[in-house]
Structure 1
Amino acid sequence: MTKRVTVLMGGFSAEREVSLTSGRACADALREAGYEVKEVDVSRDMAALIAALDPKPDVIFNALHGRWGEDGCIQGLMDMLGLRYTHSGVLASALAMNKDRTKTLAAEAGITVPHGVVVPAQRLAGEDVLPRPYVAKPLDEGSSVGVQIVDVGDNGPALPADSADSDDLWLVEEYIPGRELTVSVMNGKAIAVTELRPKVGFYTYEAKYTEGKTEHIVPAQIPEKIYEEALNAAAKVHEILGCHGVSRSDFRYDDTKGAPGKLYFLEINTQPGMTALSLVPEQAAYKGMSFPELCAWIVESAVSESAMSKSEMTESGIAAPEFVEPAGESA
């Protein structure tokens, strides 16, 4: 019997447009893979959403990004409705969305992270809370929304004066020079390391989602020791947060004083983008998995918050895929 999959997309976060692009791409890929697919643009009307989920699908493919879509909120609703859904559950999603909590857990596991502090927007709008240069970013946004580097000699504070009326929290971190790296993980197994080289400035929202703005180098041309460290750290964070399915961890690699340099974990994304420019599909393709195969694997590995253990998933055939190393490639 053909499985019925409902793809949730859009939503009402700052990442709505990216989510719509991801959701449509995944829906098309799942149809190509043989699933019966329904697309739902999620609004704040939960009654309308619940009605759109009737008849009950076999699996919810969660292609929502940002607040309310990957922070445990929609996951909690799916749990209440008894629906099976992709990606991580309530707790892992909520922890991962809070960058500071994630960093704390990573540091406790022995993973190096940048020094940082969490402050209200009011304070950041009025003063420097760390010596410049530093990085300021919303505590619970994704896709590099709002991220900025405050450098020595820049005029004014990190945020405009009207932010003093905001109760939002921001994470302010020491600026780590060097290179931008990212690692995808599928059910505990790290896939590959990609280096991201923005052609202008740093890896902003625009650089992430505008074709031609950033060069992707996979596998990253970095020392083997650092490559393996990045793979292991990404898999470890995925594990300690209790993530399921796919995640993607971001790093800074400071080799400005020569090799081997130092690797810093920044954050984890429990629902990575699935657009034409997205990194998880790119790394999966590098390992020989097509986009429809990747989307199908995500559906088949879907679990609820009462998730199966790793051993149960392995026994059920939902273990991480065995990739074939591309010929002639090495870290």
Structure 2
Amino acid sequence: MRIGVIMGGISSEREVSVQTGTEMINQLDRSQYEVIPILIEKRTDFLTQVQQAGIDFALLALHGQFGEDGTVQGALETLGIPYTGSGVLASSLCMNKHMTKMLLKTAGVQTPMGLYWQGIDDYDPQAVVQLGYPVIVKPNSGGSSIGIQLVKEEKELLPAVQKACSMSEAILIEPHLKGAEITCPILDGELLPIIGIRSMHSEWFDYHAKYEAGGAEEKVISLPPTIEQRVREAALASYRLLHCKVYARVDIILYQDEPIVLEVNTLPGMTANSLLPKSAAAAGIPYTQLLDRLIALSLHERMKEWGAFKE
């Protein structure tokens, strides 16, 4: 099978995507697959690059806009090329943090609620005062904590808003909840071992904590049974509600022992240091075997979806 590892792209997460793609290429079993690296530089080149590669299956290493938002998934469906992970709908929903929160709230899943501004014209510092400092300012789309800032007082607000607005058409401003940060990787609808996260040099799990060596302590943890059950229910409810398929990672903060869902990642990082591979390894699934499962599960999911569509 000719596997195209699609990486790079045009989003702010391009660097992380290349790291993910490189790790996938190194770990794929060459006895099963012919591996074709596909490095995306421009949106307009995507279809041509994929068609010229002549691949049978797309292993997506993309993150952020034009990769995790359903655009690439839709293009691949048009070409009839199966791909890893969630479909167009889930990808689009989860990339839009505001829409994700609205759906979670409607379903009774706890998630931070704050302000939603559709650009700098909505700037209203008094509304943030009413929300209460400190706050987290974040782009409505994107990931890897890029563009997300902790704002402790009003004088820091405008620069943070301007930066977030430069990266996304809309932004979110949420209360900064203090609590244990955890992440819940899900594979084929089953929760993998929960990982606890502690930033070593930052007040929260920012980009540097995520990707710099020694930036964070990340390890499988055991929670008290009642809390673990609530975490499990919140993570799986989010996964199902947003129509995620094959795999995802649900980020949660334990605030006063209650799980608060921060976001759902449909194409979580798969670098050597990423959280999902660490969790899978703790469940006895080494990286190469994890890739095999993602490919097999995704092929089954695409055939099921496309077969139903044809009928």
Q: Same fold (TM over 0.5)?
A: yes
Compared with structure 1, are the counterparts of its residues 33 and 226 closer, same or farther at alpha carbon in structure 2 (3 Å cutoff)? farther
- Residue 112 of structure 1 corresponds to which residue in structure 2? 110
Which of 276, 286, 293 lines up with 1:290 in the alignment? 286
The residue type equivalent to 1:156 in the other structure is E
- Is the 1:248–1:270 contact (alpha carbons within 8 Å) kept by the matching residues of 2? yes
Aligned partners of 1:263, 1:218: CA distance in 2, in Å?
17
Deviations 1:69-126 (A, max 9, x none): 1001111110111110001111110000011111122222221111222113415766
Aligned-pair CA distance for 1:204: 0.5
Compared with structure 1, are the counterparts of its residues 160 and 263 closer, same or farther at alpha carbon in structure 2 (3 Å cutoff)? closer
Aligned-pair CA distance for 1:168: 2.1
Within the alignment, does 1:135 sit opposite 2:136 as a pair?
A: yes
Aligned partners of 1:162, 1:89: CA distance in 2, in Å?
32
- Which stretches in structure 1 are left out of the alignment for 5+ residues? 256-260, 313-331
The residue type equivalent to 2:216 in the other structure is T
- Is the 1:33–1:292 contact (alpha carbons within 8 Å) kept by the matching residues of 2? no
- Is the 2:83–2:302 contact (alpha carbons within 8 Å) kept by the matching residues of 1? no
- Which stretches in structure 2 are left out of the alignment for 5+ residues? none
- Is the 2:137–2:164 contact (alpha carbons within 8 Å) kept by the matching residues of 1? no
- Residue 187 of structure 1 corresponds to which residue in structure 2? 188
- Residue 144 of structure 1 corresponds to which residue in structure 2? 145
Compared with structure 1, are the counterparts of its residues 72 and 13 closer, same or farther at alpha carbon in structure 2 (3 Å cutoff)? same
Within the alignment, does 1:13 sit opposite 2:14 as a pair?
A: no
Which of 259, 273, 287 lines up with 1:263 in the alignment? 259
Identity %: 34
Aligned partners of 2:112, 2:92: CA distance in 1, in Å?
21
Length, aligned pairs only = 301
- Please provide the CA RMSD for this pair: 2.4
What secondary structure sits across from 2:238 in the alignment?
A: helix
- Is the 1:190–1:232 contact (alpha carbons within 8 Å) kept by the matching residues of 2? no
- Residue 247 of structure 2 corresponds to which residue in structure 1? 246
Structure number with higher helix proportion? 2
- Is the 2:137–2:149 contact (alpha carbons within 8 Å) kept by the matching residues of 1? yes
Which of 267, 273, 278 lines up with 2:274 in the alignment? 278
Aligned partners of 1:180, 1:122: CA distance in 2, in Å?
30
- Is the 2:125–2:154 contact (alpha carbons within 8 Å) kept by the matching residues of 1? no
Deviations 1:271-303 (A, max 9, x none): 000011101100000000000000111111114
- Is the 1:33–1:293 contact (alpha carbons within 8 Å) kept by the matching residues of 2? no
Compared with structure 1, are the counterparts of its residues 124 and 143 closer, same or farther at alpha carbon in structure 2 (3 Å cutoff)? farther
What secondary structure sits across from 2:237 in the alignment?
A: helix
Q: TM-score, normalised by structure 1?
A: 0.84
Aligned partners of 2:216, 2:31: CA distance in 1, in Å?
30
Aligned partners of 1:110, 1:228: CA distance in 2, in Å?
16
The residue type equivalent to 2:36 in the other structure is K
Q: Which stretch of structure 1 is more off in the superposition, 40-49 or 232-241?
A: 40-49
The residue type equivalent to 2:182 in the other structure is L
Compared with structure 1, are the counterparts of its residues 148 and 57 closer, same or farther at alpha carbon in structure 2 (3 Å cutoff)? same
Deviations 1:53-80 (A, max 9, x none): 3353221001101111100111111011
Deviations 1:133-154 (A, max 9, x none): 2111100011111111212x46
